[in-house]
Structure 1
Amino acid sequence: MGRGGSATGVLAATCLSTLVVNANTSAVSILLPAISEDTGMSVDTLQWAVTGYSLVGAAVIITSGSLGDVFGRKRIFQVGLALFVVSCVLIALAETGGMVIAGRLVQGAAGATILACGLSLLTVATSGDQQLKFVSLWGAAAAVGAAAGPLLGGLLVDVTGWQGLFWIDAGVAVVCMVLTFVAIAESRDEGRPRSIDFLGTVLVALTLAPLIYGFTKSGDWGWLSAATLGCFAASVVAGFLFVMTEKRVAVPLLDLALLRNRILVGSTLAILIGAGTINGLMYLLSLYFQNPAALGFSPLEAGVATLPATVGLVAVAPFVPKLANKLGGRQVIGVGFIAMVVGFVVIGFTESSWGYTAFLLPILAIAVGMGLSNGPSSSAATSCVPQEQVGGASGVSNMARYVGAAVATALAATIYGSVQANQLDDGASPGDALAAGLAAASWAMAVISALGILLALVAIRRHKAAQGTAQDAAASAAAHLHTIPTTASGSGS
């Protein structure tokens, strides 16, 4: 395994890249109304700019790490950055919604590659206390990027047009490419078999795509229509073929033996639920706050309005590892999901007369609940396996975040649009119809979050908790974006 290059240069390139990727990802929902106005494509269809990104990311994130191990982490990281630049330029120059969506699909692959290979480069270039410190800084950069994205996106819509975000992100990615070329030495895993599970990657995408498409079109087709059920059936078949493939390939995308670990499965599902429900809600609130029939916010105002969600999550996260160490991880996870359920239930009573302040406390409850549940879930995922399986467990949990974000956002958007359309057909005002759609989608997120409480009680048993160090605090703060090893990682038998 290669080692070398400037450690500070590796830190600069990887932290800057994860910051820009996460800022870009979190900003896009704020931009959708402006993109819709410019391109003429409905926001309902532009939803694929969000869900398609997550869908491709889910399929690619483990594979890109494998490609880095085999062909060189620096090389694949540079490919990810180049794809990110291309995707940003493609989106910024897009004159149609279809081009925006196509660019976002490419961006999903680029973002997943940058995150997977960037963290690998950082861990290979460092060791000991320096590695712990640098990985913690990488996690902090990810959290800062996610928090700043909606605010930056909203600001740029007013100043430069929505295209400005993508031009700036392309420029930052080019800087990262130069830094990588100058400061990072190539490294690869010489002992790893050279086979890559490309078929598994394709089957993950083929499992998710018809599932999300079925959710998206169910409002038009009907949930029990032949077309909707056909999409779900195609997803089931692709999922079955994925399992069969993973049993036969030399180096599987997903080691099915990991699924016999009940704590890993429980914590991964908890991560999926948490990431999915909060992504679904923030997508809807970004649209609801800007709709003239609702709050009528400008993009910048909407960016500021959604900021408490990320700030609340990141603010509570550093205290979570010590809390979990004292009270137990499953207890903290359970309390977190209870807080999320309460927040979703409150938003489930949304009325068209509500001002922004009525949303603030439930948004904070959901954010704090996410911070409480996701940090210990991520820690449990890597602490319940032996050291040699930590990478595989991290990959599974990272894929779960993308899957949760894609599926839950599609489901929330479908419920929101369907209820809104039905209300309008029944003679409701546009404001009342929007409020009813948001309320119905929030009730669905509450039900899904309640499953997280059950997981904490049943599936996530005792495991070694993180010690609560600065590294653990950074891992917890970044846990809604990426699984970072903690002081408890690899302690499972």
Structure 2
Amino acid sequence: MSDVATSRTSRTTAGGVLAATCISTLVVNANTSAVSILLPAISEDTGMGVDTLQWAVTGYSLVGAAVIITSGSLGDVLGRKKVFQLGLALFVVSCVLIALAESGGMVIAGRVIQGAAGATILACGLSLLTVATSGDQRLKFVSLWGAAAAVGAAAGPLLGGVLVDVTGWQGLFWIDAGVAVACMALTFATVQESRDEARPRSIDYLGTVLIALTLAPLIYGFTKSGDWGWISAATLGCFAASVVAGFLFIRTEQRVAVPLLDLALLRNRILVGSTLAILIGAGTINGLMYLLSLYFQNPAALGFSPLEAGIATLPATVGLVVVAPLVPRLANKLGGRQVIGVGFILMAVGFAWIGFTDSTWAYAAFLLPVLAIAVGMGLSNGPASSAATASVPQEQVGGASGVSNMARYVGAAVATALCATIYATVQTNQLDDGASAGDALASGLAAASWLMTVISALGILLALVAIRRHKATEGTARDAAAAAAAHLHTIPTTASGSGS
């Protein structure tokens, strides 16, 4: 084959990988961000309460946290294309299962499967894109992948709202299944198989299971604490089971040949601090979207339709994307730690504002605090993600990215469960005390927001204490794309691998 033909084939292959991975990450992130908007409609059709259906959100994140690193390892060993295709197939199965669901339990089961599928698609998709390209093309394509992830997350609530009115809530999952099938065909036709021949063949399956066993009882204890009591035997038993599983996870990681989590990374203070900052940011923004999606649609509150609620929550996701191009330059000029701290201050102020929610508030009263939270999230999460990969040597960038990506799922699962529990518990207590439905809802939203205020304030402390000086990004378009996608996935920046 001539050099010209080889070059043309290479460009075609890279273009196919770009199309398949960008479309798939857009669909996965749009699907994920849309689900909270759909919960009231799903509750009405299935008869399951929204407080139980929150497992459709937390279950997704819980499984994603357990699977995201393992799926990348499976791709390295078994073949990235093969595992990516498996993720797409699981995504199709989960979408069909949810679309055909006649009970809330089937919806939750489908979303649990979807958590594994989504994590696999994201991990192996980015790996495929990285292997298929090099140099400037790799930088450009990875930036486009990050942009697709951010656009999908921003469009999800609006798309979900439109489809509930036009097709019913099931329409989102039928459409996503069709797009995933098309991605499978595109991947089959254009993507070449690749694997890491130098990597040991062993996979830390036990570590994956123990991550799930650590998170599941923890989150279940949070969600049932309102019924059982915080110091009841059942609640404390769940927390004890989580502690035991966490201890076993650490012991396992010390002994396996290729651990799921390299515990040596935890000695890096900047990485630990930035990972906790990422966890807090991802948790609070997911908790906010869950709460607002329910509050805006409740007839006793604002009474919005799903479409109106999707439009109403759009400023939160748009604010994240709009501020992203400014973040790398601000971090380069002012310092990453300072920008992270300012971001968490804005988030704390925004949540504190919502903490004063009153049943008489119209939508306009929420707009400024929601924008403050979104901008704060954009300011904090971009530099935190950059710090995570800048604080380690080049050979540890993949491990640092995996830790931070797992942290996003953990934060989303735990914070959503906490918000759902407080929102429902306070609402029930207020109703029992004779409050009106509107006042009870406002009190629940306010109580959950005060918790998010405290958590955001812990982020300020992290920025001051744990995140020391590290190499700043150059502020390129690649860095801007990484900042835009930072609330969803860690993408290496121009500063990555500079740690010693």
Query: Given the two structures, how large is their TM-score scaled by the length of structure 2?
Result: 0.98
Q: Which whole-Å CA distance do the structure 2 matches of 1:188 and 1:283 have between them? A: 38
Q: 2:60 is matched with which residue?
A: 53
Q: CA deviation at 1:318?
A: 1.2
Q: 2:376 is matched with which residue?
A: 369
**What is the aligned counterpart of 1:204 among 201, 205, 211?**
211
Q: 2:106 is matched with which residue?
A: 99
Q: CA deviation at 1:404?
A: 0.1
Aligned pairs for 1:262-281 within 5 A: 262-281=269-288
Q: 2:225 is matched with which residue?
A: 218
**What is the aligned counterpart of 1:467 among 469, 474, 479?**
474
What amino acid does structure 1 have at the position aligned with 2:121? Answer: I
**What is the aligned counterpart of 1:385 among 380, 392, 416?**
392
Q: 1:27 is matched with which residue?
A: 34
Q: 1:305 is matched with which residue?
A: 312
Q: Which whole-Å CA distance do the structure 1 matches of 2:292 and 2:228 have between them? A: 25
Q: Say if 2:209 is the partner of 1:182.
A: no
Q: Which whole-Å CA distance do the structure 2 matches of 1:287 and 1:129 have between them? A: 44
Aligned pairs for 1:37-436 within 5 A: 37-436=44-443
Q: Deviations over 1:268-291 (max 9, x none)?
A: 000000000110011010000000
Q: CA deviation at 1:447?
A: 0.1
Q: 2:5 is matched with which residue?
A: none
Q: Which whole-Å CA distance do the structure 2 matches of 1:417 and 1:235 have between them? A: 23
Q: CA deviation at 1:82?
A: 0.2
What amino acid does structure 1 have at the position aligned with 2:274? Answer: S
Q: Which whole-Å CA distance do the structure 1 matches of 2:97 and 2:476 have between them? A: 42
Q: CA deviation at 1:85?
A: 0.2
Q: Which whole-Å CA distance do the structure 2 matches of 1:455 and 1:49 have between them? A: 31
Q: Which whole-Å CA distance do the structure 2 matches of 1:19 and 1:172 have between them? A: 10
What amino acid does structure 1 have at the position aligned with 2:269? Answer: R
Unaligned runs of at least 5 residues, structure 2:
1-8
Q: Which whole-Å CA distance do the structure 2 matches of 1:226 and 1:373 have between them? A: 38
Q: Which whole-Å CA distance do the structure 2 matches of 1:368 and 1:382 have between them? A: 22
**What is the aligned counterpart of 1:443 among 422, 447, 450?**
450
Q: CA deviation at 1:77?
A: 0.1
Q: Deviations over 1:126-182 (max 9, x none)?
A: 000000000000000000000000000000000000000000000000010011000
Q: Which whole-Å CA distance do the structure 2 matches of 1:121 and 1:192 have between them? A: 16
Q: Which whole-Å CA distance do the structure 2 matches of 1:253 and 1:428 have between them? A: 49
Q: CA deviation at 1:212?
A: 0.4
Name the SS for the 2:299 alignment partner.
coil
Q: Deviations over 1:56-103 (max 9, x none)?
A: 000000000000000000000000000000000000000000000000
Q: CA deviation at 1:317?
A: 1.1
Q: Which whole-Å CA distance do the structure 1 matches of 2:368 and 2:159 have between them? A: 23
Q: Deviations over 1:354-407 (max 9, x none)?
A: 000000000000000000000000000000000000000000000000000000
Identical-pair percentage: 88
Q: CA deviation at 1:322?
A: 0.6
Name the SS for the 2:357 alignment partner.
coil
Q: Say if 2:487 is the partner of 1:480.
A: yes
Name the SS for the 1:355 alignment partner.
coil
Name the SS for the 2:255 alignment partner.
coil
Q: Which whole-Å CA distance do the structure 2 matches of 1:263 and 1:315 have between them? A: 27
What amino acid does structure 2 have at the position aligned with 1:451? Answer: L
Q: CA deviation at 1:485?
A: 0.2
Q: Which whole-Å CA distance do the structure 2 matches of 1:113 and 1:465 have between them? A: 30
Q: Deviations over 1:182-235 (max 9, x none)?
A: 000000000000000000000000000000000000000001111000000000
Q: Which whole-Å CA distance do the structure 2 matches of 1:318 and 1:14 have between them? A: 23
RMSD: 0.7
Q: 2:4 is matched with which residue?
A: none
Name the SS for the 1:6 alignment partner.
helix
Q: Which whole-Å CA distance do the structure 1 matches of 2:254 and 2:371 have between them? A: 43
Q: Deviations over 1:331-357 (max 9, x none)?
A: 000000000000000000000000000
Q: Deviations over 1:291-311 (max 9, x none)?
A: 000000000000000000000
Name the SS for the 1:208 alignment partner.
helix
What amino acid does structure 1 have at the position aligned with 2:69? Answer: I
Q: Deviations over 1:432-488 (max 9, x none)?
A: 000000000000000001000000000000000110000000000000000000000
Name the SS for the 2:492 alignment partner.
coil
Q: Which whole-Å CA distance do the structure 1 matches of 2:321 and 2:279 have between them? A: 18
What amino acid does structure 2 have at the position aligned with 1:420? Answer: Q
Unaligned runs of at least 5 residues, structure 1:
none
